[in-house]
Amino acid sequence: MGRPPIDRRPNERLAHWLIRSGLSNAKLATAVKDLAARHGVKGVHPDESRARRWLSGEKPREPVPDLITKILSERTGLPLTREDLGFPAHQRTVSLDPSELPWRSGSTIEAIVHLTRSEIMLPHTRHSPDAAHIHSGKSLLDPLHQWATALPSELIERPAGHTPTGRVGAREIAGIRAVTEMFRDADNRHGGVLSRRAVIAQMADAIAMLDSCSYTQATGRELFSAVADLGSVAGWMSFDAGMHKSAQKLFITALHAASEGADKAVGAHILQCMARQMSHLAHYNDALDLVALAQYGGRRQTSPATKSMLASLEARFNAILGHLDESERAAGRAEELFTLINPDEEPPHMAFFDTAELSATLGVAHQIAARKSQGPHRTRRADKSLDLLEHALSLRPIHRTRSKAFDHLALARTHLVVSEIGGAHHETDMALTLFGTISSKRVADRLTELHDEAAEFSDAAEAADLRNRIRATVTAAA
């Protein structure tokens, strides 16, 4: 007797997203093999013919569907799922609680596979349950598009008989802004984890003024603007603490407050915070769209520093999406706009965007572009990245501890792009020292990414040590 017929239909969903990604069959196979190697997954060595069979309907063995999903999500900038690509969803058939684990071979294998995979893979907040529940794509962007043209509404009239609990004036608003700068400084020095609750409590007090005090229309607008800026700090701290759903809610409500305060400049600042969060969570097209929204909606009110910062983020996100020419053009605009900055005329929320920050952002953009390039183009872009990142690090104020940790991590990743293991090891050592003085899930996530990128060099002693030290540090901090 021959084999029974196989019900295999072409995987049209995978074919659709492969075309959208711009990858060939051979490049997909190579990307899967490289990603598996970075994650320490053994025995995954697909070639072009294997990729063709996937498109013909062959079901790849685990964890290849997850690897393909990750690759195509990053290439398209969309949060694709296994089902989007025509692969079956994960179906856990056994409890992983040891007291409930059935005495069967299949259950035992599944439990061990899950346990070892969770032990091998370092944590990243991108994969947390919290991150899975944020808004993205149309559900995020469609409502936000109204911000660009929204006008402040009339402030609420108090009902008859309402007795204000106090009157808000310039002194109270100045107090909120001073507290905002204090929390912003604490975030830069120590990370967002420690002060998050305190800044949210301060927001509650400020909202109470809006809700129960009396003020003029002009003062009310100023109060909304001050609350919006305070909210941006609360959202940023939540993002840094890995609390992505809370961060997104705080950013969106702060954006509404900025609109009621007729403050497009703060609104554009909030949108760039949101763009950074979406990029961190691998929603790269959303990040680029948020930058474009900030550029359009804030075009008449934003300062040269804001315009330069948004262009630098445009360069970074275009590099991630593989748009290298667009990335270089945006980097050029960022540098030109930076020359127009007068620090005395910039709003307080833009004080962070100095020469060091511009250099760091563009340095990362060139690093990403180098990773996506070959031959002399890779070398040129990596050299540019190293120059910019070293310049950034040399200019960082002493209190910008978290930023310095990011700079060292970016330098380590650029060294890896050109296989300079010694340089990567040195910069990782510096980053780990700084990480021990702050509380930041974002820095931990960047360490995890560096750990994965160093996997292909694991045969080298310094690379193996780099990965072991990151694993020990991130695991201890989790």
* pLDDT tens readout for residues 39-89: 777 788 899 889 988 988 888 888 899 899 888 888 776 667 787 788 887
For 247, half-sphere exposure in the C-beta direction (CA atoms, 13 angstrom radius) is 28
**The predicted structure's pLDDT at residue 265:** 96
Give dist(CA 94, CA 30) in Å, integer: 33
Residue pLDDT, tens place only, 106-131: 555 555 544 444 444 576 788 787 78
Per DSSP, the three-state class of 167 is strand
**The predicted structure's pLDDT at residue 457:** 92
Give dist(CA 372, CA 149) in Å, integer: 37
Give CA separation, 431 vs 48, 115, 372, 408, 420, in Å: 39, 29, 24, 5, 17
Residue pLDDT, tens place only, 49-59: 899 889 888 88
Element (H, E) at 453: helix 441-453
Give CA separation, 244 vs 100, 249, 271, 276, 454, in Å: 32, 9, 15, 12, 27
Residue 99 has pLDDT above 50, yes or no: yes
Model confidence, pTM: 0.77
Give dist(CA 407, CA 359) in Å, integer: 10
Residue 159 has pLDDT above 60, yes or no: no
Rounded to an integer, the average pLDDT of 142-162 is 77
Residue 364 has pLDDT above 60, yes or no: yes
**The predicted structure's pLDDT at residue 4:** 44
Lowest mean pLDDT among 110-124, 246-260, 283-297, 441-455: 110-124
143 vs 8, residue with greater confidence: 143
Give dist(CA 111, CA 459) in Å, integer: 30
Residues whose CB falls within 8 Å of the CB of residue 142, separated by 6 or more in sequence, listed in order: none
Helices within 121-216 (DSSP H only): 138-144, 170-190, 196-212
**The predicted structure's pLDDT at residue 473:** 94
Q: What are 415's strand-pairing partners?
A: none
Q: How many helices (H) and strands (E) does the chain have?
A: 20, 0
166 vs 63, residue with greater confidence: 63
**Contact criterion met (CB below 8 Å) for 368 and 313:** no
**The predicted structure's pLDDT at residue 28:** 92
Residue 416 has pLDDT above 50, yes or no: yes
